Copies of this chain bind each other. A is one copy, B any other.
Amino acid sequence: MRISELSERSGVPVATIKFYLRERLLREGVRISPTQASYDESHAQRLSIIRALIESGISVAESRRVLAALDDPPPHAHDLLGMAHAAVLPRVEEDIDTGEAERLVEGLGWRPGTCDEAVLAGVARALQGLRSAGFDVPEDVMSVYLSSIRQIARAEIAGVPTESAEAAVRYVVLGSVLVEPLLLALRRVAEQVASAERFGGA
């Protein structure tokens, strides 16, 4: 199909598709004339994933890395997650102290070497942000965070499909990244429900 048809089918404007092509998020179509290229089903599918990533607030550079992880997965299933996480995490800064983060994530079953440095640094950075705002998470709330998040992660990883490598890659890479906005959105609803229960409605 031509770019105009790809645009119509996907609901993505032609100019945006051209932007994705320039940014190497979407593979070039097959040239059929000096000014025209032809696109197929794989482009339409890829386009829907690009849209979902970008609309989840993931940057163009991060999306490119997530797509690379989908296209060229590592041979070992466990490394998939590392690739998905690395795609959306900033590089580790030299000077971040992960001591407090390490003590905290022991409550998630973490042991030295179980997870990527960038992921641990993410916890350290989040703790630093809270501290610099002078915000303390009460101890009993933190312990519910740890136990609930552990339940979530276990259910997610138990659900990794094993019938095909492709299905596993999609599940891990997209699930890890694209589910984040859903979890935050569900938390907001649950907070308002709990607040209405405790303080009564408006």
CB distance B120 to A189 under 8 Å? yes
**Contact (A175, B144) CB under 8 Å given A181-B126, A186-B105:** no
> Smallest distance from the beta carbon of A32 to chain B beta carbons, Å?
28
Task: State which of A1-9, A15-23, A35-43, A155-163 sits at the interface with chain B.
Answer: A155-163
Q: For the side of the interface on A, what is the size category?
A: 35 or more
Q: Is A169 an interface residue (CB 8 A)?
A: no
A152 to B152, CA, bound (A): 11
Q: Is A108 an interface residue (CB 8 A)?
A: yes
> Smallest distance from the beta carbon of A85 to chain B beta carbons, Å?
5
Interface centre among A80, A137, A156 (most CB of B within 10 A): A156
A135 to B40, CA, bound (A): 20
8 Å CB interface, A67-119 against B: 76-82, 85, 89, 104-105, 108-110, 113-116, 119
A56 to B109, CA, bound (A): 26
> Smallest distance from the beta carbon of A165 to chain B beta carbons, Å?
13
Please pick, from B55, B123, B144, B174, the residue contacting A152 in the complex, using a CB distance under 8 A: B144
Interface centre among A82, A129, A197 (most CB of B within 10 A): A129
> Smallest distance from the beta carbon of A78 to chain B beta carbons, Å?
4
Please pick, from B85, B89, B155, B195, the residue contacting A140 in the complex, using a CB distance under 8 A: B155
CB distance A153 to B191 under 8 Å? yes
A interface with B by C-beta (< 8 Å):
45, 48-49, 51-53, 55-56, 76-82, 85, 89, 104-105, 108-110, 113-116, 119-120, 122-123, 125-127, 129-130, 132-135, 137-138, 140-141, 144-160, 170-171, 174-176, 178-202
* Pairs across A and B, CB under 8 Å, 7 listed: A49-B134, A78-B202, A81-B195, A105-B193, A114-B196, A141-B156, A141-B159
